[in-house]
Structure 1
């Protein structure tokens, strides 16, 4: 069985549906090319909330998944310091690694 990977992305109100689907497709393509099963993609719809992020952390804790894919670290947060803090939270609390498609 292939290892699981979770996706996480922000979907601002002004993002066209085609753009959201393209980003989801890129995450799926990465998973397939790297022998993962993309379990689910957590979508954050509100800029100031992190409810989907909290759900992601819980899912990582409940499963054997040890990888998270994001289209960009900006999907986690807009500032570098907050991006670093959230990546560290994923690494420390859920023992998972973050892969950012824009850094490949």
Structure 2
């Protein structure tokens, strides 16, 4: 299977002010390693920088819809939202609006 035949997957993470550049690179590397090990073609990472903001999340949903993508990977579900009900809401939005499945990769 060529690289272009592999299904695409997108990363999503919330960036905390306390994260160092090295920590962010390690998180993204974990996402890329997951994608590669599971047979996906990693496209890009959508990053949310403002607490309580969902601008990057909305852009992710729009991109998935535009390209027909159905896979998202996050470092942990806390990157979607800290509150469990909000996590469920965002997971449902990804599933209903883009038919997307979300994978969680706990950092190594």
Q: By the TM > 0.5 criterion, same fold?
A: yes
Q: Does 1:58 align with 2:62?
A: yes
Give the TM-score of the pair, scaled to structure 2.
Answer: 0.92
Q: Please, which runs of 5 or more residues in structure 2 have no aligned partner?
A: none
Calculate the TM-score normalised by the size of structure 1. 0.95
Instruction: Name 1:72's counterpart in structure 2.
Output: 76
Give the aligned partner of residue 86 of structure 2: 82
Q: Distance in 1 between matches of 2:54 and 2:103?
A: 19
Deviation at 1:64, TM superposition (A): 2.4
Output the aligned Cα RMSD: 0.7
Asked if 2 retains the 8 angstrom alpha-carbon contact of 1:6 and 1:68, the reply is: yes
Paired position in structure 1 for 2:45: 41
Equivalences, count: 102
1:5 and 1:69 in contact (8 A); partners too: yes
Partners of 1:96 and 1:56 lie apart in 2 by 11
Deviation digits for residues 6-56 of structure 1, max 9, x if unmatched? 100011111111110000000000000011011110000011211000000
Distance 2:10 2:23 in 1: 19
